[in-house]
Amino acid sequence: MQLMERMILRCSLRVRELSARLRKEAGKVLGSFDCPPVCFAMLSGNVLGQYCPQQNVICLSETLLDQSWDIVFHVMLHECAHFLNYRLNGSLAHDASFRKLCIQTGAGEDWGHSRVNLAKQQRIIDKVRKLKALSSSPFAAESEAALKKVRQLVASYSLEAEDDEESVYMCDLASSRSRISFKAAVLAGIVSDQTGIFVLKTHDQGSAVLRAFGTRDELEVAGYLYDMLENALERELKKERKSRPELRGASGTNNFYAGVRQALRERLEKERNDEQSPAKALMIISRDNEDRTRRIVYPDARIIRRKARHIYNETAWKEGLSCGKRLQLRAAVKKENTLSLSLPSGKL
């Protein structure tokens, strides 16, 4: 099974305000069409934006958050043309109908325009960051000169830097048109225990969603871990079912996964007795991610904790417990996220 690509979105007060403003202004050029929701995400390569028809969302690169309104809105208009072209012609290509819609929305036929301006603006932003570093110099004259230059550049180029505003990132681990399965909830719980991300079950556009919150690196590792665990544990369960029919069905699956989580949790609890262990640090990371999510994303919402229920299957539970005791998780966040799973017994 190929690992599912997940969009990692940025959440902050400024992102919310900017998204609302973009929708309002773009709505003026979309005529009878409602402007899709707008989000800022980690996009691959030098992609500045994309329209996602499955979710009916316009995603803009988070690198645009440091840019001027003119550049951000020009990229937004480009994606609005894609949105209209898909709705009217079923196409996401840069074809003749798209170019015509670019002119109608005001994005212009030259979609390289934003990229050229962005490159120029990025050089200015890099210069501002270096000057900000100099502004903390212990030498008063050097610090004052750097701050003065920063103000001039910000005013001249209409920069929109966030000034270290508190933010949190989010991505969806799993979703369903009906309800989240017990297995998916347990997998998300294991990933939360092992990475410190905060996971909520919520509803979005008619779907039930397991939504994770944390830093970019934490969410990248969490996504890989969720998919790799699911693949590895399903292989193990399938193998055991050949000779043990009591592991079959929803009851067998649910109790097997619950047993795996219990074993991994017990190992974490033992490690937490050591003040220097990574497990101790995970507790702090988890609390911080939950606190930031409550403040930034759900300031007025009530988050309810419920204990999931399932029919107890002792055989499946014990097999999951045994599997969890043998399972070795090793995760590292480097230039490229790496994660390995193994069972010393050679069963996985």
Which residue type does 22 have?
L
345 conformational bin, left if phi > 0, alpha if psi -120 to 50, beta if neither: alpha
Tokens (6 digits) for 3: 């690992």
What distance in Å separates the CA atoms of residue 8 and residue 6, rounded to the nearest whole number? 6
What distance in Å separates the CA atoms of residue 81 and residue 101, rounded to the nearest whole number? 5
**DSSP per-residue letters across 211-227:** EEEE-HHHHHHHHHHHH
The tens-digit pLDDT sequence of the chain (348 residues) is: 233 358 899 999 999 999 999 999 999 999 889 999 999 998 877 788 999 998 899 999 988 888 889 889 999 999 999 999 999 999 999 899 999 999 989 887 665 444 545 555 556 555 555 655 555 555 556 666 666 665 665 555 554 544 557 899 999 999 988 889 999 999 999 999 989 999 999 887 778 999 999 998 899 999 989 998 999 999 999 998 988 888 889 889 999 999 999 999 988 888 777 666 667 778 888 999 999 999 999 988 787 777 766 678 889 999 999 999 888 775 443 444 444 555 444 343
Tokens (6 digits) for 203: 């509803």
pLDDT at 156: 56
E strand or H helix at 329: strand 328-332
Pairing of strands 168-176, 198-204: unpaired
164 CB-contact burial (10 Å; exposed 0-12 / middle 13-18 / buried 19+) = exposed
Helices (H), 212-305: 216-241, 249-271, 278-296
What is the sign, positive or negative, of the torsion defined by CA atoms of 337, 341, 344, 348? negative
Residue whose pair of structure tokens reads 């995603």 in the numeric block: 59
How many Cβ atoms from other residues are within 10 Å of residue 156's Cβ?
9
Give CA 34 to chain center in angstroms.
25
